[in-house]
A = this chain, B = another copy of it.
Amino acid sequence: MSAPHQEAAPLFPNDVELRGALEKAGLRFTRQRAAVYQFLAGATAHPTAEDVFAAVRQQLPKISLATVYKALDALVESALVTKITHLDGPCRYDCLGGAHYHFHCLNTGRIFDLPTAYDPDLLQKLDPQLVETLRRRGFQVTGYRLELLGVAFPET
Contact = CB atoms under 8 A, between A and B. Distances in A.
Interface of A: 83, 85-88, 103, 106, 112, 114-116, 119, 122-123, 125-127, 130, 133-134, 137-153, 155-156
23 contacts: A85-B86, A85-B87, A86-B87, A112-B139, A114-B130, A114-B134, A119-B127, A122-B126, A134-B148, A137-B156, A139-B150, A139-B153, A140-B153, A141-B148, A141-B150, A142-B149, A142-B150, A143-B149, A144-B149, A145-B145, A145-B147, A145-B149, A146-B146
A102 B28 CA distance: 38
Contacts of A155: 137-138
A138 B137 CA distance: 41
A133 B139 CA distance: 35
Contact of A116 (B83, B115, B130): B130
Number of copies: 2
A83 to B, nearest CB: 8
Nearest to A151: B140
Contacts of A112: 139
A87 to B, nearest CB: 6
